[in-house]
Amino acid sequence: MAHTHILRSSRVRLDATVAVWVPVAVSGGVTLIVAVASLAQDNLSWHDIVGIALLIAAATLAEAFPVPIEGVAVGSTSLATIFLVAGATIYGWAAAAVAGFLAMALVELAWRRPFSRAAFNCGVYVLAAAGAGGVADRFQDGTLLGLSLGAIAAAGTFYVVNIALLAAVVTRSRGIAYGSTLTNYAQLTFVPFTVMASLAVILVVLWDRSPFVAVVLVGPLLATALYQRWIHGALNRLREFDRLKDEFIAIVSHELRTPLTSVYGAAMTLEKQQLDDDRQHQLLEIISTEAARLSHLLDDILWVSRLDSGSARPYITPVEPLPLTEEVVDAARTHLPGGLSVEILHDSPLPEVAADPDRLRQVLVNLIENAVKYSREGRVQVRLGSHYGTVRFSVRDEGPGIPLSQQERIFEKFYRLDPNMTKGVGGTGLGLYICRELVDAMNGDIWVESAPGAGSTFSFELPVAQAP
């Protein structure tokens, strides 16, 4: 009875499965009509009506918040079946069929699932619940044992109908063998099934005593469901983290290999051959540039890991923005490509900002280096201005620009524009991510304004330092 929502998975295409979902939906519909007619003829007491309504409400809630069960790879499992099986044992097949339909239909309607999927899922619940009620009835002899056995048999029936129909629709849509799919699902869902079968028996026995006493089950059920959802979320986050780490290792190894190969090649040539001074000089330059690139890359990686582990807390203090920016710009000017100039424009006076001077320097170096690296020629303007309680730093270049659709993404870890757009300029895609994290940590904002062919302006704002 572990109702496994294979149909939540988008991999299952119901259009390929008309031969299964239509018969299931139609027989479910017919069963439902007969059930409603039979209920209408029964003289239900108000007591029964309240009981059935309670079970329907519980089943609907449970259906709306399915519990993912770790290791059950086919999706999440709904505890609704506990209430449907209990309903089937206590109130009979017709009430259970109606309850199954309502619980599933309400949830499918709320989630706006496609008609075929909703009709199939409702059909499965109606048939499984009606079957469970029919079987449970055979054991009822007014004794506690009969009631318990009835609940166990009902749970088993619900489970068998459920996974048999689900396996049918999955085999259809994926074109795989029915027998092996069924065994596979049975193995995956058997343990959750036994847990839910026992819970159903407990619920039935308690309910038989008094529906009010049965309410004590709500606590443990809710706790189990919430705990499972929490565990599942935590595991998913770990998996995602693991995937990012793999991706990180792949990119880093690739990025390390390129400069290392150049350094190694240049060193080998220097060692083995008689070379004139010019050539030697060229090779030594390659070695130093590539070694600098390696150290830059390693720095970035260290920063990312520090930021990710939360150990890079900035030390905030009042900082004079202009002298610090002038220092950075002077340093950048020492190795500018010909045809490119960097200038500073600023309001005066400028208030002090609340920042960590080292981190602020790091952000500026990164933005100015990017402006130089990606534009190669023209003017780079660094502007400082005060803006409503903040100081805005902007670095403007006349480079290739960045399409609007990419302007958010370039701040993501490892994200780089298409090499065609950046004319093959090397990098790791970590610089802007580090800038954003550092500016965030200093309570600021960072953004870019740009258009292809029209240059880019990267700006960030930091709060003005409070007067002591």
Cis peptide before 349 (omega within 30 of 0): yes
Distance of closest approach, residue 294 Cβ to ligand ADP, in angstroms: 14
> What is the side-by-side order of every strand in the sheet holding 445-450?
340-346, 378-387, 390-397, 456-463, 445-450
Residues constituting the chain? 468
Distance of closest approach, residue 255 Cβ to ligand ADP, in angstroms: 9
Q: How far is CA 384 from the centre of its chain?
A: 38
Which one among 400, 437, 438, 444 touches ligand ADP, defined by CB under 6 A?
A: 400
Q: Amino acid letter at 323?
A: P
| Among the listed residues 23, 9, 26, 185, the one whose alpha carbon sits nearest the alpha carbon of residue 113 | 9
Distance of closest approach, residue 345 Cβ to ligand ADP, in angstroms: 18
- The two tokens of residue 194 are 């036994």
Distance of closest approach, residue 462 Cβ to ligand ADP, in angstroms: 19
| Among the listed residues 205, 209, 225, the one whose alpha carbon sits nearest the alpha carbon of residue 86 | 205
Return the range that interacts with ligand ADP (CB under 6 A); candidates 88-96, 125-133, 222-230, 393-401: 393-401
Question: Residue 95 in contact with residue 133, Cβ under 8 Å?
Answer: yes
Output 51 or 401, the one with its CB closest to ligand ADP: 401
Q: How far is CA 264 from the centre of its chain?
A: 41
* 120-132 CB burial, b ≥16 within 10 A, e <16: bbbbbbbbbbbbb
Q: Residues 344 to 373: which contact ligand ADP by CB under 6 A?
A: 370-371
Which one among 75, 92, 321, 399 touches ligand ADP, defined by CB under 6 A?
A: 399
Q: Residues 311 to 340: which contact ligand ADP by CB under 6 A?
A: none
Backbone angles phi, psi at 135, to 5 degrees: -70, -45
Which one among 316, 402, 446, 462 touches ligand ADP, defined by CB under 6 A?
A: 402
Q: Is the dihedral of CA 428, 429, 435, 437 positive or negative?
A: negative
Cβ contacts of residue 443 below 8 Å, gap of 6+?
354, 462, 463
What does 330-349 look like in DSSP terms, one character per residue? HHHHTTPPTTEEEEEEE-SS
Distance of closest approach, residue 301 Cβ to ligand ADP, in angstroms: 12
Q: Residues 166 to 225: which contact ligand ADP by CB under 6 A?
A: none
Binding mask 409-448 for ligand ADP (x = CB under 6 A): -x-----xx----x----xxxxxxx---------------
Which one among 374, 392, 438, 464 touches ligand ADP, defined by CB under 6 A?
A: 374
- The two tokens of residue 295 are 């150290």
Q: How far apart are CA 247 and CA 89, in angstroms?
A: 52
Which one among 63, 397, 437, 461 touches ligand ADP, defined by CB under 6 A?
A: 397
Question: Residue 354 in contact with residue 391, Cβ under 8 Å?
Answer: no
Return the range that interacts with ligand ADP (CB under 6 A); candidates 14-22, 88-96, 208-216, 397-405: 397-405
- The reply on whether position 459 binds ligand ADP by CB under 6 A is no
**Residue matched to tokens 């469970």:** 132
Distance of closest approach, residue 422 Cβ to ligand ADP, in angstroms: 4
Output 356 or 397, the one with its CB closest to ligand ADP: 397
| Among the listed residues 384, 389, 377, 344, the one whose alpha carbon sits nearest the alpha carbon of residue 455 | 377
Q: How far is CA 292 from the centre of its chain?
A: 37
Q: Which residue is nearest to ligand ADP (CB)?
A: 427
Output 188 or 395, the one with its CB closest to ligand ADP: 395
Output 148 or 407, the one with its CB closest to ligand ADP: 407
Output 211 or 403, the one with its CB closest to ligand ADP: 403
Return the range that interacts with ligand ADP (CB under 6 A); candidates 73-81, 86-94, 211-219, 392-400: 392-400
Output 136 or 395, the one with its CB closest to ligand ADP: 395
Question: Residue 14 in contact with residue 114, Cβ under 8 Å?
Answer: yes
Distance of closest approach, residue 401 Cβ to ligand ADP, in angstroms: 6
Distance of closest approach, residue 362 Cβ to ligand ADP, in angstroms: 12
Q: Is 243 exposed, middle or buried (0-12, 13-18, 19+ CB in 10 A)?
A: exposed
Q: How far is CA 231 from the centre of its chain?
A: 14
Distance of closest approach, residue 451 Cβ to ligand ADP, in angstroms: 11
Output 117 or 436, the one with its CB closest to ligand ADP: 436
Output 169 or 371, the one with its CB closest to ligand ADP: 371
Which one among 93, 456, 459, 460 touches ligand ADP, defined by CB under 6 A?
A: 456
Residues that bind ligand ADP (CB under 6 A): 370-371, 374, 397, 399-400, 402, 410, 416-417, 422, 427-433, 456
